[in-house]
């Protein structure tokens, strides 16, 4: 069972605001990653751009959500399932893009194997996207 959004905000030491609750609810409702326009489509009537951007940034900084890159080149966001904290995201899992339903989701249990970089290179973020057909569309 997912925790209600009010509890999640509390766990992350975030004050509950209507925009935070609404955006968090969207993530809880959908099991796949959401792009900015997905979010905007759902709540643009209620909140302005700046509020949405600011809320997403807060969630990213706090470790509530993480970035997901997919083949469209657009940035998407998904909930962090492991306890992530401010500026520290601990999970390095595979993302899966389904070519049938078009959804990109986190495969939390599938970890990205360690990649050895050439000397002088440091990685800040690791993203691995696998494309194919998801379990629901199979």
Q: How far apart are the C-alpha atoms of 24 and 138, rounded to whole Å?
A: 29
Contacts of 6 (CB under 8 A, 6+ apart): 16, 21
CB 47, min distance to Zn ion, A: 23
CB 10, min distance to Zn ion, A: 18
Give contact residues for Zn ion (rule: CB under 5 A).
63, 66, 78, 80, 84, 89, 98, 100-101, 106, 134, 137
CB 126, min distance to Zn ion, A: 11
Is the CB of residue 8 less than 8 Å from the CB of residue 64? Answer: yes
Is the CB of residue 87 less than 8 Å from the CB of residue 109? Answer: no
Nearest residue (CB) to Zn ion, 24 versus 106:
106
Is the CB of residue 39 less than 8 Å from the CB of residue 23? Answer: yes
CB 119, min distance to Zn ion, A: 28
CB 97, min distance to Zn ion, A: 9
Nearest residue (CB) to Zn ion, 109 versus 119:
109
Q: How far apart are the C-alpha atoms of 58 and 78, rounded to whole Å?
A: 14
Nearest residue (CB) to Zn ion, 39 versus 134:
134
Nearest residue (CB) to Zn ion, 23 versus 78:
78
Q: How far apart are the C-alpha atoms of 112 and 40, rounded to whole Å?
A: 31
Closest CA to 105 of 30, 39, 14: 30
Nearest residue (CB) to Zn ion, 6 versus 132:
132
């Amino acid at each position: 069972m997912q925790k209600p959004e009010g509890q999640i905000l509390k766990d992350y030491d975030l004050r509950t605001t209507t925009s935070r609750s609404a955006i968090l609810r969207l993530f809880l409702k959908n099991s796949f990653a959401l792009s900015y326009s997905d979010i905007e489509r759902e709540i643009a009537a209620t909140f302005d751009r700046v509020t949405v951007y600011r809320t997403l940034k807060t969630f990213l900084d706090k470790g509530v959500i993480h970035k997901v890159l997919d083949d469209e080149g657009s940035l998407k966001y998904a909930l962090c399932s492991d306890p992530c904290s401010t500026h520290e995201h601990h999970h390095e899992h595979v993302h899966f893009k389904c070519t049938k339903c078009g959804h990109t989701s986190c495969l939390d249990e599938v970890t990205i194997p360690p990649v050895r970089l050439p000397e002088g290179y440091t990685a800040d973020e690791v993203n691995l996207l696998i494309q194919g057909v998801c379990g629901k569309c199979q």
